[in-house]
Amino acid sequence: MKSISLAEPGKFEQKNIEAPGEPGEDEALIKIHKIGICGTDYHAYRGKQPFFSYPRILGHELGVEVVALGAHVKHLKVGDKCSVEPYLNCGSCMACKNGKSNCCEKMRVLGVHVDGGMSEFIKVPASKLHTSAILNYEELALVETLGIGCHAVNRAEIKTGQKVLVIGAGPIGLSVLEFAMIKGAQTTIMDLNTDRLAFCKKYNKAHEFIQADAIPEGLESAFEVVFDATGNPHSMKNAFKYVGHGGKLVFVGLFQGDYAFPDPEFHRKEMSILASRNSLPADFTYIIEQLEQKKIDVQSWISREIPFEEVITAFDGLLTDQTLVKAVITV
Ligand SMILES: NC(=O)c1ccc[n+]([C@@H]2O[C@H](COP(=O)([O-])OP(=O)(O)OC[C@H]3O[C@@H](n4cnc5c(N)ncnc54)[C@H](O)[C@@H]3O)[C@@H](O)[C@H]2O)c1
Ligand SMILES: [Zn+2]
Ligand SMILES: [Zn+2]
């Protein structure tokens, strides 16, 4: 079967590899139809993804079809269309025991720590498949991205009418906006990238739009919840000032380094600072329902569709395309 491996930073190789055999008792053999490309893949390609080893088959945002099932699998049938929850957790650590499989101590993410879905077929634990009879493979591939925002919004426990600022209008910031809007928040999006703000305006992704290099007065201490989805340490530090008294700051974006913050501001406001990582199985179920009910539109995010055979030549261009929101590969 065909497969693309990231041999080393900056170098993909397409080759024919042996197809996976029959699934084990609790496994499913799946055919990959669509693969979303995300920041993690770009970081790995650039050689900037920490704790990443090469060669690695990327691909963790997957829209797939069930081809064969192990004897113990009852919740699926051959032909089912599914989204893959790529977080392979241990089931026995403190986080797993407390229902927080999203931050398992021994987390292995498909396409990051173990080989992912940039192949025709892979085998996965069947419990990691979430099916929908209605959604198409592109929508199913983007459920994982949406999960990042869904989980972050759940962490913040947003209530109707609350003022919410999202900094960073990339796919992750967009996914936060979708669920903040569903919760009935009054949303403001801030970014440096005019094309991304224009995209948000065009598709009504938020109520207000702020150019980050021309910030108007009146935003200080103005929000019940602030999400930083930039991964930029300067933006993350700056985000403190927008949080209102008694408010919350959620770091969805992340960076490799230490973080310092002004204690007087933190205490005066009695601020809650939250990290948000990955998402939970229940988030997948909820997101699929929201997509099926057309409460979320991800089709507008897809600004590039790339045939599998063109991935290697197209990849460099994706890294520099300022207008790109999301690229999806067709296998
Ligand atoms: N929490 C998780 O589990 C999780 C999962 C996936 C990705 N992430 C992280 O989320 C972050 C965002 O991912 P993405 O794919 O959307 O990235 P992206 O690069 O596509 O988007 C980031 C956006 O932030 C904007 N930005 C950068 N600096 C800014 C500043 N100072 N002020 C305002 N806007 C600024 C950029 O213009 C860009 O539009 C990354 O740090 C990524 O590693 C977190
Ligand atoms: Zn991703
Ligand atoms: Zn665990």
SS (H, E, C) 133-147: CCCCHHHHHHHHHHH
Q: What is the pLDDT of residues 16-46, one digit of tens each?
A: 999 999 999 999 999 999 999 999 999 999 9
C-alpha span between 154 and 52 (Å, rounded) = 29
Take atom 25 of ligand 1 and give the residue whose Cα is closest.
168
Q: Residue 230's domain is classified under what CATH number?
A: 3.40.50.720
pLDDT of residue 51: 79
In the chain, count of helices (H) and strands (E)? 9, 17
Residues 154 and 95 in one domain: no
Residues 110 and 229 in one domain: no
Residues surrounding ion ligand 3 at CB below 5 Å = 89-90, 93, 96, 104
Pairing of strands 243-251, 223-228: parallel
For residue 63 the two structure tokens come to 């829209």
C-alpha span between 14 and 308 (Å, rounded) = 9
Pairing of strands 223-228, 163-167: parallel
Helix (H, G, I), strand (E, B) or coil at 220: coil
pLDDT, one tens digit for every residue, the chain (331 residues):
999 999 999 999 999 999 999 999 999 999 999 999 999 999 999 998 877 899 999 999 999 999 999 999 999 999 999 999 999 999 999 999 999 999 999 999 999 999 999 999 999 999 999 999 999 999 999 999 999 999 999 999 999 999 999 999 999 999 999 999 999 999 999 999 999 999 999 999 999 999 999 999 999 999 999 999 999 999 999 999 999 999 999 999 998 899 888 899 999 999 999 999 999 999 999 999 999 999 999 999 998 999 999 999 999 999 998 889 999 999 9
Residues 189 and 69 in one domain: no
Residue to substitute in 230, 236, 298 for testing ligand 1 pocket (most ligand atoms within 8 angstroms of CB)? 230
Q: Residue 110's domain is classified under what CATH number?
A: 3.90.180.10
Which residues are within 8 A (CB) of 42 and not within 5 positions of it... i.e. 6 or more apart? 318, 319
Report the separation in Å between the CA atom of 88 and the middle of ligand 3, taken as the mean of its atom positions: 9
CB neighbourhood size of 121 (10 A): 19
pLDDT of residue 149: 98
Look up the domain containing 182 and give its range: 149-275
Q: What is the pLDDT of residues 186-199, one digit of tens each?
A: 999 999 999 999 99
Residues 271 and 153 in one domain: yes
Asked whether residue 288 is domain-assigned, the answer is no
Q: Which atom of ligand 1 is nearest to the CA of 169?
A: 39
Contact 26, 60 (CB under 8 A): no
